[in-house]
Amino acid sequence: MPMTWEVPSQAGAKPKAEIHIIKDQCKGCGFCIYYCPRKVLGESDEINARGAHPPKVVNESECILCSLCTAICPDFAIFVKEKQCKDGC
């Protein structure tokens, strides 16, 4: 029997993202902000333990869970999960 696989965003309701930034691990390079295809992230004024500005989430609903930000982050400081919605969130 052939295996089938559906892109989550084509499988019905668009999945919602839960973006996690491990702020004190971030060196503020800005790669995730620059390369995010949906401009979900932006610069923040916050200063972390490394003296850097970690990104902030500015447009979470636009996230397509592609995980490009995770793949390109040199410091493993960001990851994205699908939000587990219990009451139709």
- Specify whether the CB–CB gap between 60 and 81 falls below 8 A: no
Task: Tell me the three state secondary structure of residue 33.
Answer: helix
48 lies in the binding site for ligand SF4 (CB under 6 A): no
Q: Name the segment binding ligand SF4 (CB under 6 A); options: 1-9, 34-42, 81-89.
A: 34-42
Of 42 and 85, the one with the shorter C-beta distance to ligand SF4 is 42
Which stretches within the chain are classed as H helix?
31-35, 68-72
Min dist CB 56 to ligand SF4, Å, is 10
- Specify whether the CB–CB gap between 19 and 7 falls below 8 A: no
Among 13, 30, 61, 85, binds ligand SF4 (CB under 6 A): 30
